[in-house]
Amino acid sequence: MVQIDNILIRIAEPEEADVLTQIAISAKSYWGYPEHWMKIWTPQLTFTPDYFKANESRVAVDGDQQIGFYTLQDKSGNAWLDNLWVLPEYIGKGIGKQLFVHALELARQRGYKTLQLEADPNALGFYEKMGMYKIGERRSEVDGEPRILPIMEMIL
């Protein structure tokens, strides 16, 4: 069991790209996707130092361990939550909620009126619980299997 005492949310450093990549891959794997799908998605879940130099990102830290992160971008004048990943052993412990609330506050500080994102279908319930609602969907395909990815929004 993971005990959470003092979670710090701070700016993600470019040198953390490998660790944050592993968090994203582990978090995506948590949902039990087929291994060959995970191999297909690995390039999308692999982050470089340049990604963190170019994108406003925050990391949640428990002691000296990175346990989750998010990235906030501008997309068509709206705040866009490009990533929100939490290590599997911390899922259900409130870390995702803390990161989400932090992203909301950062988006408000930046003057955005709307927060949007494209959700993994397994995360739909989480985002709805956070107060977001579905405004559309993006149809995609993985290894010949159709997938429908909800586009979510929240007015800030």
Asked if residue 134 lies in contact with residue 121, where contact means CB atoms within 8 angstroms, the answer is no
In one-letter notation, the amino acid at residue 99 is L
Distance CA 129, CA 120 (A): 15
pLDDT along the chain (156 residues), means of 10: 69 98 96 91 96 97 95 97 96 94 97 97 95 96 89 98
Predicted pLDDT at 74: 97
57 Ramachandran zone, left/alpha/beta (phi>0; psi -120 to 50): beta
pLDDT for residue 88:
96
**pLDDT value at residue 145:** 85
The CATH architecture assigned to 7-155 reads 3-Layer(aba) Sandwich (3.40)
Give the pLDDT score at 4. Answer: 56
Residue spans per domain, the chain: 7-155
